[in-house]
Structure 1
Amino acid sequence: MVRVVSRAEASAAVLDGGWRFLLGTLQSAVPVASLAAGAEVVTAAIRAAGEHADGHLRADLRADRVVLSLQTLRLASLTSRDIQLAHQISAALAELGHSTGSQAGQRAVQMLELAIDALDIAAIRPFWKAALGYTHEPSADGPTDPIVDPAGQGPAIWFQRMTEPRPQRNRIHFDLCVPHDEVAGRIAAALAAGGRLVSDRRAPAFWILADAEGNEICLTTWQGRD
């Protein structure tokens, strides 16, 4: 039986295969030497997924890498089927000499979200949905739910409720979801580049960092959320 799985279960099930859990998806970056080689990777992944490819698999093909993403799209959630497909795809690619994991020195997978602070989320959400040509995720079209790019090109946008106006502070910030085993290095690099740690109170779910002028970004992981 196909079932929705927890963040911890999903991450543990695919970690050794080079996949990482990010924002309700399993993702893996497969290094390739050319677009032609990348196309072979995508074809092999589709064949490995079989009849489930259209409903679960997405691929971003580049000349140096293929980023594969798995999610049960009709639910906008991760299920046991996606874990099964990750293992099948990894095995199929291994037979072709490819690894579902970035090479040393190559940045792995990550997903960007934008967070918009608002006193009345329901009042501003339709504007952003219309202006960006975005839509809602399956079964999540409430007045305060996130919105997403139906073409998968832009970052998801979610809305954070404010209890009172906050003048002189940015009200749109980046949320960058990175693999849980890479976040410490990313934080260290950002601090070394002139940033500062605003808060780690909610770590390991997220850390708030800021540049020298106070503009903020949250580095997030799946951990600390279940």
Structure 2
Amino acid sequence: MVSRAEASEAVLDVGWRFLLGTLQSAVPVPSLAAGAEVVAAAVRAAGEHADGHLRADLRADRVFLSLQTLRLASLTSRDVELAHRISAALATIGRTTEPQAVQMLEVAIDALDSAAIRPFWKAVLGYTHEPSADGPADPIVDPAGRGPAIWFQQMTEPRPQRNRVHFDLCVPHDQAPGRLAAAVAAGGRLVSERRAPAFWVLADAEGNEVCVTTWQGRD
């Protein structure tokens, strides 16, 4: 296993970013055919470890790459090694990464009794649990890796005056200041920065909340 700080520092200069227990990067491409070449290069670089670590989302303008030790749902030194190998392979075909394009969305549900509502959300969304994390309050995830993770925030008492569901948007730590400034300039307001840089709470003009999160401030 590698820590958040170790993982972030190890891949910062090769075009990857640490987000929610994964290493993420994006590669701009001019076409699906060019994107397929990127995916092929990444798979070749990962070799025998590709199936257990690498995920790729191929689009006509960009390829999104993700690394994680899937059987553990955690990051290991192998993932860091693969990030370096893949970036080197991409350089040989003239492709560069665009780490500022990556982000991950989570949905947080306030709950007085997580164990009572978690099975409902698991069933209705067709979600499952991460390896070794099937406790009554653990997050649930899309088994196909497409939809946002859902996690349950423990409440101590009902709070009908505020939203019971809010978004958590995980961005690269070096992109957070710009995202915050843009949100405020677009009519939002900063509700709290007490837990920054782990997260900042923002709200729109009607009070709907979103947390902009990073890996920092959590160790």
Answer yes or no: same fold by TM over 0.5. Answer: yes
The aligned residue for residue 102 of structure 2 is 109
Q: Which residue, out of 69, 73, 83, partners 1:76? A: 73
Instruction: Give the drift of 1:100.
Output: 2.2
Does the 8 Å CA contact 1:135/1:149 hold for their aligned counterparts?
yes
- 1:220 equivalenced with 2:217 (yes/no): no
- 1:49 equivalenced with 2:46 (yes/no): yes
Cα distance between partner residues in 2 of 1:201 and 1:18: 30
Q: Render the CA deviation track for 1:69-97: whole Å, top value 9, x for unaligned.
A: 00000000000000000000000010000
Cα distance between partner residues in 2 of 1:153 and 1:93: 24
The aligned residue for residue 21 of structure 1 is 18
Instruction: Give the drift of 1:153.
Output: 1.5
Letter in 1 for 2:45: A
RMSD: 0.7
- 1:62 equivalenced with 2:64 (yes/no): no
- 1:139 equivalenced with 2:132 (yes/no): yes
Letter in 1 for 2:141: V
Q: Render the CA deviation track for 1:11-70: whole Å, top value 9, x for unaligned.
A: 000001110000000000001010000000000000000000000000000101000000
The aligned residue for residue 192 of structure 1 is 185
Cα distance between partner residues in 2 of 1:98 and 1:55: 24
Q: Which residue, out of 167, 171, 182, partners 2:175? A: 182
Cα distance between partner residues in 1 of 2:12 and 2:160: 43
Does the 8 Å CA contact 1:17/1:101 hold for their aligned counterparts?
no
Letter in 2 for 1:60: D
Q: Render the CA deviation track for 1:90-137: whole Å, top value 9, x for unaligned.
A: 0001000001225xxxx5100000000000000000000000000000
Unaligned 5+ segments in structure 2 are none
Cα distance between partner residues in 2 of 1:96 and 1:36: 13
The aligned residue for residue 144 of structure 2 is 151
Equivalent pairs, count: 219
- 1:209 equivalenced with 2:202 (yes/no): yes
Cα distance between partner residues in 2 of 1:165 and 1:142: 23
Cα distance between partner residues in 2 of 1:98 and 1:196: 38
The aligned residue for residue 36 of structure 1 is 33
The aligned residue for residue 96 of structure 2 is 99
Letter in 2 for 1:51: E
Q: Render the CA deviation track for 1:171-219: whole Å, top value 9, x for unaligned.
A: 1000000000000000000000000000000000000000000000000
Cα distance between partner residues in 2 of 1:27 and 1:165: 37
Cα distance between partner residues in 2 of 1:205 and 1:69: 21
Q: Percent identity?
A: 85
